Amino acid sequence: MSTVANESSVDANAAASAGSDRAGLGKNFAPGLADYNYAYLDEQTKRMIRRATLKAVAIPGYQVPFGSREMPVPYGWGTGGIQLTASLIGPDDVFKCIDQGADDTTNAVSIRAFFGKVAGVQTTEDTRRASIIQTRHRIPEAPLAEGQTMVFQVPQPEPLRGLVPRETETRAMHAYEEYGTQYVSLYENVAKFGRIAATAGYPVLVDGRYVMSPSPIPKFDNPKLHRSPALMLFGAGREQRIYAIPPYTDVESLNFDDHPFEVQSWEETCALCSAEDSYMDEVVLDDAGRRMYVCSDSHYCAERRAAGHEGWAADDDSAKALLEGEA
């Protein structure tokens, strides 16, 4: 299993479980967790998930079935991502969790606290410091580096599902590279809107072989998948699938020759940090329909503000009031 040794996080985890010296970890553990195994899942389950993960890394874009477990949150709240993280995480990891790009939403805060508690790891909001980043809907704006692992929470791993309801059929289509049907959805888009209007879960071709759904990240983030130095892991708990994009893998977004792939763009800059290059959320300010655009990546925005960048909202009373109300 030399592949395991190459992955730092798996390596750390292996050390943790092999040691079974829970006393050593105990100092980080919250009281009352003594009856739980390290990182919540039992070792057999973690092993099974790691095997599926290794297979997924070996066959980029291929959906590997795994025996998804009951988790302490409902399906749809990121059970696939939590299981992946739980089987990869070790005491030396630094964990970041985002939801829609933000570190401070309920789900992100809860999952971060969960792993802080059951795995005794350091948590962070800083993208560069994190070794494992669990995410829903976004890839952080700060460039990822070698050794980092992205864990995506995936609701529907099958890109063909909207058109082909039968699993036996979609598996055969993947096996034989029958991807013409995938373009039907793009055709529908162009026919209805004059352009490829799909914005999230935009299908990609991984390593020239498997068509894959990049989970509901905006297509703005699709180019970040291409030849990324970080390992990208995708976990779908309800659908029981794990798939992966290893570092430095070609990832190409599907398109038509006469309708090339394009990412979203905004006419305004971030109202808080005046960033031009990040993915924007629209925030309504008052009943008169005034609005502002802010970075969806909250840490990226905060970092820019700390560095002295300032958007127009700094001089605007209602925007300031709204922000202070939040804080």
Alpha carbon 56 to chain centroid distance? 16
With CB under 8 A as the contact rule, the residue among 36, 77, 183, 312 that binds another protein is 183
Q: Which residues are catalytic?
A: 61, 270, 273, 295, 301
Taking the complex as a whole, how short is the minimal distance between the CB of residue 251 and another protein, in angstroms? 18
Residue 257 near another protein by CB under 8 A: yes
Q: Which stretch binds another protein (CB under 8 A): 4-12, 108-116, 255-263, 305-313?
A: 255-263
Report which of 138, 157, 171 is spatially closest to residue 243, judged by C-alpha positions.
157
With CB under 8 A as the contact rule, the residue among 31, 32, 192, 325 that binds another protein is 192
Taking the complex as a whole, how short is the minimal distance between the CB of residue 34 and another protein, in angstroms? 52
CA distance 199 to 207: 22
Q: How many residues bind another protein (CB under 8 A)?
A: 21
69 vs 171, which CB is nearer to another protein? Answer: 171
Residue 187 near another protein by CB under 8 A: yes
Taking the complex as a whole, how short is the minimal distance between the CB of residue 62 and another protein, in angstroms? 17
Q: Going by C-beta distance under 8 Å and a sequence separation of 6 or more, which residues neighbour residue 109?
A: 97, 103
Taking the complex as a whole, how short is the minimal distance between the CB of residue 147 and another protein, in angstroms? 37
Taking the complex as a whole, how short is the minimal distance between the CB of residue 196 and another protein, in angstroms? 9
Q: Which stretch binds another protein (CB under 8 A): 12-20, 70-78, 189-197, 241-249?
A: 189-197
With CB under 8 A as the contact rule, the residue among 31, 180, 289, 325 that binds another protein is 180
With CB under 8 A as the contact rule, the residue among 4, 15, 30, 184 that binds another protein is 184
Q: Which stretch binds another protein (CB under 8 A): 106-114, 190-198, 215-223, 265-273?
A: 190-198
Report which of 117, 94, 123, 122 is spatially closest to residue 34, judged by C-alpha positions.
117
What sign has the CA pseudo-torsion 224, 229, 230, 231? positive
With CB under 8 A as the contact rule, the residue among 25, 73, 163, 314 that binds another protein is 163
Residue 156 near another protein by CB under 8 A: no
Taking the complex as a whole, how short is the minimal distance between the CB of residue 254 and another protein, in angstroms? 9
Residue 31 near another protein by CB under 8 A: no
With CB under 8 A as the contact rule, the residue among 47, 55, 161, 259 that binds another protein is 259
Interface residue list for another protein (CB under 8 A): 162-163, 172, 175-176, 178, 180-181, 183-185, 187-188, 190-192, 255-259
